[in-house]
């Protein structure tokens, strides 16, 4: 299930998205699922092709092209600099993610984020460093009214490998145009694991990382 797999397909998907290909077309071209494509190209700017113009194509604005080139250059620079995380570095990454986005109270480990990469990375981390009973994993989905609930459930179920039967009843929010115009099409999932001792162990590790004695002088 690793996000790091299919590197060539990920790179090609990003190139095609920058050329205004749609998600279904990219998925068909590469022979992968639409949800995988959506994950890979989430941060790539998409400029729809003009309709009813035959096979003519719209030439991208030079500033837009320059922006994409710079983003890709810095992405490659970041990949080169970071490389492959060690076991300890991956442990620290997961703790940092939970310290920022995870629940600190109650009896349940719970991590919520609308970015599929964040959810996938944290869940891979949780499964790696803790003994997880898969049947106890739950997902609570926050999704605006008017958006496709079944598509969202299918997307997150495939990404997390948590079956839809372990999804709670979703919270359907009423969109407020005065506050937010854009919406997360697949919603924001909260992945939960009800186990007090696991939560306490996780929070204890975070406390150790944030301890003054752990920070280099």
Q: What pLDDT, in 10s, does the model give residues 110-142?
A: 999 999 889 999 999 999 999 999 999 999 999
Which of 18-22, 83-87, 183-187 has the highest average model confidence (pLDDT)?
83-87
Q: Is the pTM of this model over 0.75?
A: no
CA distance linking residue 160 with residue 171, whole number of Å: 19
Same domain, 141 and 194: yes
Same domain, 78 and 91: no
Query: How many residues are there in the chain?
Result: 217
Mean pLDDT, rounded, for 47-57: 52
Q: What is the pLDDT of residue 139?
A: 97
- Residue 45 placed within a domain: yes
Residue with tokens 């629940």: 103
Same domain, 73 and 130: no
Domain count, the chain: 2
Find, among 7, 164, 173, the residue nearest to 76 by Cα.
7
Domain termination site, one of 49, 82, 115: 82
Q: CA torsion sign, 16 to 21 to 23 to 29? A: negative
CA distance linking residue 138 with residue 145, whole number of Å: 22
- Residue 75 maps to which CATH number? 1.10.10
Same domain, 106 and 45: no
Same domain, 129 and 67: no
CA distance linking residue 117 with residue 93, whole number of Å: 13
Same domain, 69 and 130: no
- Residue 71 placed within a domain: yes
Tens of pLDDT, residues 55-101: 445 566 778 778 888 888 898 898 889 988 999 999 999 999 999 99
Contact 203, 174 (CB under 8 A): no
Same domain, 153 and 205: yes
- Residue 182 maps to which CATH number? 3.30.1330
For 164, which DSSP code? Answer: G
Beta-sheet strands, E only, within the chain:
108-112, 137-144, 171-173, 188-194
Find, among 145, 147, 187, 182, the residue nearest to 167 by Cα.
187
Strand-pair category, 188-194 with 137-144: antiparallel
Same domain, 73 and 110: no
Same domain, 151 and 99: yes
Same domain, 98 and 64: no
Contact 185, 154 (CB under 8 A): no
Domain termination site, one of 67, 82, 97: 82
Same domain, 122 and 198: yes
Same domain, 78 and 95: no
Mean pLDDT, rounded, for 189-205: 97
Does residue 156 carry a pLDDT above 70?
yes
Residues of the domain holding 93: 87-214
Domain termination site, one of 82, 111, 144: 82
């Amino acid at each position: 299930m690793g996000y790091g797999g299919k590197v060539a397909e990920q790179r090609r998907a990003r190139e095609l998205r920058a050329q205004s290909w749609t998600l279904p077309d990219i998925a068909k071209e590469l022979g992968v699922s639409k949800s995988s494509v959506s994950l890979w190209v989430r941060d790539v700017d998409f400029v729809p092709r003009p309709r009813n113009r035959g096979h003519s194509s719209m030439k991208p604005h030079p500033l837009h092209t320059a922006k994409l080139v710079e983003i890709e250059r810095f992405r490659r620079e970041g990949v080169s600099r970071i490389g492959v995380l060690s076991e300890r570095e991956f442990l620290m990454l997961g703790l940092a993610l939970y310290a920022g986005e995870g629940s600190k109270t109650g009896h349940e480990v719970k991590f919520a984020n609308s970015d599929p990469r964040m959810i996938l990375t944290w869940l891979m981390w949780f499964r790696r460093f803790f003994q997880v009973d898969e049947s106890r994993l739950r997902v609570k989905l926050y999704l605006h009214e008017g958006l496709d609930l079944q598509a969202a459930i299918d997307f997150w179920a495939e990404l997390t490998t948590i079956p839809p039967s372990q999804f709670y009843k979703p919270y359907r929010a009423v969109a407020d145009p005065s506050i937010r115009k854009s919406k997360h099409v697949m919603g924001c999932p909260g992945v939960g694991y009800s186990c007090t001792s696991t939560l306490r162990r996780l929070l204890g590790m975070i406390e150790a990382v944030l301890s003054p004695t752990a920070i280099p002088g």
